[in-house]
């Protein structure tokens, strides 16, 4: 991988799973929250992106898969930390 910037932010040197997390969080903070599977495969060298997404969902990451034609896109909805904070807040008000 020689991809140095993603959505105008420098890409840190991370393992594949951490890179997927970083890309999804960075995309959500940008004007375009969708990231195509081909971006992960070709730009970041992560060919088994669907396996990483599956494992992240198992770890309570809320990620939406959107199919447009023959392409698949991923959109981060909530991280496990955000889900936990939301649950704590809801518990305080009930």
Q: Which residue has the tokens 């198992």?
A: 58
pLDDT in tens, 55-87: 999 999 999 999 999 999 999 999 999 998 988
Q: Mean pLDDT over residues 19-44, rounded?
A: 97
Please provide the CATH number assigned to the domain covering 12-92: 1.10.10
Record the pTM: 0.89
Q: What is the pLDDT of residue 1?
A: 47
User: For residue 79, how many C-alpha atoms fall within 13 Å in the half-sphere facing its CB?
Assistant: 13
Q: What is the pLDDT of residue 90?
A: 76
Question: Is the distance from CB of 57 to CB of 83 less than 8 angstroms?
Answer: no
Domain ranges of the chain: 12-92
Question: Is the distance from CB of 79 to CB of 67 less than 8 angstroms?
Answer: no
Average pLDDT value over all residues in the chain: 93
What is the C-alpha separation between 19 and 23, in angstroms, rounded?
6
């Amino acid at each position: 991988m020689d991809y140095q910037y993603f959505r105008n932010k420098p890409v840190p040197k991370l393992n594949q799973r951490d890179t997927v997390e970083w890309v999804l969080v960075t995309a959500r903070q940008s004007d375009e929250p969708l990231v195509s599977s081909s971006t992960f495969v070709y730009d970041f060298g992560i060919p088994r992106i669907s396996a990483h997404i599956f494992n992240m969902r198992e770890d309570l990451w809320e990620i939406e898969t959107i199919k447009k034609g023959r392409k698949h896109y991923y959109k981060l909805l909530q991280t496990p930390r955000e889900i936990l904070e939301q649950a704590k807040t809801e518990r305080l008000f009930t």
